[in-house]
Chain A
Amino acid sequence: MNNLPAIIPILIVVLSAAAAMLAEAFRQPGERMPIAGLGLIGLVGAGAASYFLWDKDAQSFGVVRADNFALFINIILCIIGVLTMVFSNDVVEREDIPGGEYYALTLFAISGMMLMVAATDLLVIFLALEVLSLAVYVLTGIRRESAEGAEAAFKYFLLGAFSSAFFLYGIAFAFTIAGSTRLDEVGKAMASAPHATLAMLAVALLAVGFAFKISAVPFHMWTPDAYEGAPTIVTAFMSTGVKAAAFGAFVRVFLSTLQPLEGHWVPVLAVIAGATMIVGTVVGVLQSNVKRMLAYSSIAHAGYLLLGIVAASEDGKAAVLFYLLVYAVANIGALGIVALLGTAEHPHDQLRDFAGLWRARPGLAGLMTVFLLSLGGFPPTAGFIGKWYIFAAAVRDGYYSLAIIGVLSSVVSVFFYLRIVVMMYMTEEAAAPARPRVSGPAMAGLALAMLATFYLGVLPTRVIEYAVESVKAIV
C-alpha cells in the first residue's frame, strides 16, 4: 500500500470519470442527471488530496512522483476542471453534446494531465500524454453532426498523432543512450553523453513533441482550427488544461533531466519563444471570430511561458508555474463566457455578437472585461503580475531582445482584447440574438475566477512563494 499515495489524486479523478460513465448508462432517455456534480466531487477530492500530499514527496511504483511541482499543477488542473464542470452543467444540453461521454472524457483527460506532470519516466509521460490527447481529440469532435467539429477533430488528431510519433522517436533515442526511460537515468546518461549526435536528436525530437502540444510556432497550425471547430466549452477546457499539463512535463523534462544539454536547446527555444509571441499576436489581430482570436492569444501566451523556460533561473521556473495559473483562470473565464452565451444554432463567437452586451448583461460584460484585461496584462489584474514576473526573469538572465518582443507583443495584443471590450460597451446591439440565461452556479464560477484574477493581481506574494517552493522539487 505504500505505493499508492502519489497517485491518489489521479485515482479519485478516474473514479469520478467511471462514475460519470455509469450514471450515463443508468440514465433513462430524457432524464436529467446532475453528472457534472460527480465530476465536481471528484475534482474537489483530488484537489484536497493534492493539498494533503503537499511537502510529502510521495512516490508510486518508481515512476510517479507527487512532488510539490506536480501538486501545484494538480491544483491548477483541479481549478480548471471545477470551472469546466460548473459551466458544462449549463452548456452541455444546449449544445447537443452527449452528456455522459462528455463528462467521462473530460475527467479522463484531467487524470491523464495529472499523471503527465507527476510522471518521472518517459514511458509514463508518453502514456499520460496519449490518455489526455485521445480524450481531447474525441471531445473536439463530440458533436458528430457538425462538419466543423469533425474537421477540427480530424486535423487535431492527424497532427497530434504525427507529433506523438516524433515524441516517441525522441524517447527511443533517449532510451538508446541511457538504456532506461527513467528521467534520472536519462539525465545521468545525457550529462556524460557518449553519442552526442543521438543526444541532440533525442532532445530535438522531444522538443518537437512538446512544442506541438503547447502550440508553439511553427507547430501551432492545428490550434486555431481545433479551437474554433470544437464546442466552446471544450475549447475553454483544452486551451487551459492541455497547456498546463504539457508545460508541466516540458519543464520537468527539459529543466531537470536535459539541463546538462542546456547550451544546445536554449538558443533554439529562445527563437521559438520569440516567433510564437510574434505570430500569436500579429495573426490574432486579424481575426473576427472570438474563439479563433483567443486561440491565437493562447499561442502568444505559450510564447510568454516558453520565455519563462528559456530564462530558467529559479525565478523563471516559478514564473512559468505562476503564469500557468494566471492564464488558466483568465482564459477559462473568457471562453467560459463565450460558451455560456452560445447555443448549438447560434454559437455567439463572432466579434459582432458581443455588440451591446453591456446593456443586455452588464454582469457578464464586466466579468469578460476583467478576464480580457488580465489576458492583456493590465494592472491590477493577475496577468500584469504574471507577465512582469516572466519578463523580469528574462531581463535578469540577459534575454533583453526577447523581453522587448514580449512587452511589445503584449501591447499589440491589448488591441484585440480591447476590440471585444469596445464592442461590448460602445456598439449598439443590432439584431438581438437570443442569449440564453446563465445559471447561478455558472455565475458563481465566473465570480470565483474573477476574484482569483484580482487576488493574484493584488496580493500575489503568497502564491508566488508556493510556486518558488514547488520548483525546488525538480532541481
Chain B
Amino acid sequence: MHLYPITAYHYLVLAAALFALGATGVMLRRNIIILFMSIELMLNAVNLNLVAFSRLNGHVVGQVFALFIVAVAAAEAVVGLGILLAFYRNKETLNIDEVNLLRG
C-alpha cells in the first residue's frame, strides 16, 4: 500500500467539499437546528483551510485566526440559539417553512 504525501491541494479540496456540504445543507434542509449545524460546518471548513496553510507556510497567523473564528462561532451560536428560542416560543415549530409572517 502506498501512502501519498498530503499536499496543499488535498487540504483545499477537503475544505471546499466540507464548505459545499454545509452550504447545501443550509439551502436544502428544513429543520432550523440542522441549518445552524450546517453553518458551523462551513465555518470549520474555513478553519481547516486556515490551519493547513498556516502549517504549510510555517507561521502561526492562520492558527490564531482559526481560534478567533472558533470564539466568534461560539458567540454567534449563543445569539442564534437565543433568537431561535424567542422564535420557537412564538411559533412552536422548528420548520423553516413556517417562517412566513413577513413577506411581499
Contact = CB atoms under 8 A, between A and B. Distances in A.
A138 B75 CA distance: 12
Given A151-B87, A228-B102, A175 B26 contact: no
Given A147-B91, A153-B86, A138 B79 contact: yes
Contacts of B68: 123, 126-127
Contacts of A224: 102, 104
Given A157-B79, A181-B65, A169 B19 contact: yes
Contacts of A165: 19, 22-23, 39, 42-43, 46
A162 B29 CA distance: 14
Sorting the interface of chain B by its residue count into under 10, 10 to 19, 20 to 34 or 35 or more gives 35 or more
B53 A150 contact: no
Given A134-B75, A179-B57, A180-B61, A161 B80 contact: yes
Which secondary structure dominates where chain B touches chain A? helix
Contact of A175 (B23, B62, B80, B102): B62
A272 B98 CA distance: 30
Contacts of B84: 154
Nearest to B27: A162
| Most-contacted residue by chain B among A130, A134, A151, A172 (CB, 10 A) | A172
A289 B102 CA distance: 11
Contacts of B76: 130, 134, 161, 164
Interface string A160-203: 01101100110111011001110000000000000000000000
Contacts of B61: 175, 179-181
A147 B88 CA distance: 9
Interface string B35-67: 110010011011001100100010101100100
Given A165-B19, A172-B49, 6 more contacts: A150-B86, A153-B87, A155-B102, A165-B23, A179-B59, A225-B102
Interface of A: 123, 126-127, 130, 134, 137-138, 141, 144-155, 157-158, 161-162, 164-165, 168-169, 171-173, 175-176, 179-181, 224-225, 228-229, 286-287, 289, 292
12 contacts: A123-B68, A134-B75, A141-B86, A147-B101, A154-B99, A161-B39, A165-B22, A175-B53, A176-B49, A179-B53, A225-B102, A228-B102
